[in-house]
């Protein structure tokens, strides 16, 4: 379970995330939607202990994301918005390294790397330097790294942004499988198709404030409105300062 308790963050005098209170249930796929600059990455970086909250807190399965940051990293798989890899490591080596960092013995880490490369369709490029991967391959490798320790919770920042339609579909299918296996997934995106297809519930963040939360059907109010219309309406008005 993910519990946001009045979590807030400012950069100088600019408040990027206003006090956010929200609960995401175990096994739920929650879409964190918002336009550019809404505060999605800032929120996720606080969840991963990369940024210190200005006030409030966020707990993941009872662990405080700031105070217990190391334990959170063991419990959570994280895909950053722009995964960066060591220049002179091959895809297979990176995955194996990440698995070893999570405590797997070398043979188990090598087996885990092979299994993930196979599952993500990266077999053919396993021995290429990851720095030369295409954007889609990097996202897949990043996601494979996030899954290396089979975490209970996945936090994904724009997992299909910039991918071609097939790569985007592949990644979504992999995530849907993980969700069906009971993982809690918190996924930020501004791609509404993906939210509609994957998410049990969504929250729309606009200028640092949660403007709407609910299932896609609830947000559409049972009417004929599309999620796009709901999104555009929720993010249309200037947020109150």
Interface contacts to ligand ATP, rule CB under 6 A: 11, 14, 16, 34, 36-42, 190
Smaller CB separation from ligand ATP, 14 or 88: 14
The pairing of strands 2-11 and 55-60 is: antiparallel
Smaller CB separation from ligand ATP, 41 or 184: 41
3-state secondary structure of 12: coil
Smaller CB separation from ligand ATP, 107 or 241: 241
| Smallest gap from residue 7 Cβ to ligand ATP (A) | 13
Nearest to 101 by CA among 148, 52, 156, 50: 148
**Cα(121)–Cα(232) distance, rounded to whole angstroms?**
36
| Smallest gap from residue 39 Cβ to ligand ATP (A) | 5
The DSSP annotation for 76-121 comes to EEEE-SS----TT-BHHHHHHHHHHHTT--HHHHHHHHHHHHHHTT
**Cα(108)–Cα(125) distance, rounded to whole angstroms?**
21
3-state secondary structure of 224: coil
| Sequence-separated contacts (24+) of 220-227 with Cβ below 8 Å | 226/192, 227/192, 227/195, 227/196, 227/202
| Smallest gap from residue 40 Cβ to ligand ATP (A) | 3
Smaller CB separation from ligand ATP, 55 or 132: 55
For residue 178, give the DSSP letter. Answer: H
Smaller CB separation from ligand ATP, 42 or 172: 42
| Smallest gap from residue 152 Cβ to ligand ATP (A) | 24
| Smallest gap from residue 155 Cβ to ligand ATP (A) | 13
């Amino acid at each position: 379970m993910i519990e946001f308790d009045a979590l807030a963050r400012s950069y100088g005098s600019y408040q990027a995330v206003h006090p956010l209170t929200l609960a995401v249930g175990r096994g739920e796929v929650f879409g964190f939607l918002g336009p550019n600059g809404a505060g999605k990455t800032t929120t996720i970086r606080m969840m991963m202990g990369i940024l210190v909250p200005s006030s409030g807190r966020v707990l993941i399965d009872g662990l405080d994301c700031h105070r217990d940051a190391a334990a959170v990293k063991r419990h959570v798989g994280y895909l950053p918005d722009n995964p960066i890899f060591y220049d002179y490591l091959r895809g297979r080596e990176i995955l194996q390294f990440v698995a070893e960092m999570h405590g797997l013995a070398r043979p188990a880490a090598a087996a885990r790397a092979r299994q993930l490369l196979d599952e993500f369709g990266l077999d053919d490029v396993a021995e290429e330097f990851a720095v030369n991967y295409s954007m889609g391959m990097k996202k897949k490798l990043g996601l494979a790294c996030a899954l290396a320790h089979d975490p209970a919770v996945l936090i994904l920042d724009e997992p299909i942004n910039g991918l071609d339609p097939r790569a985007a579909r592949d990644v979504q299918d992999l995530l849907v499988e993980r969700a069906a296996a009971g993982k809690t997934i918190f996924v930020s995106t501004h791609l509404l198709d993906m939210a509609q297809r994957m998410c049990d519930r969504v929250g729309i963040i606009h200028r640092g404030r949660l403007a709407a939360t609910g299932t896609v059907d609830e947000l559409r109010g049972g009417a004929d409105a599309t999620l796009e219309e709901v999104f555009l309406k929720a993010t249309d008005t200037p947020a109150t300062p």
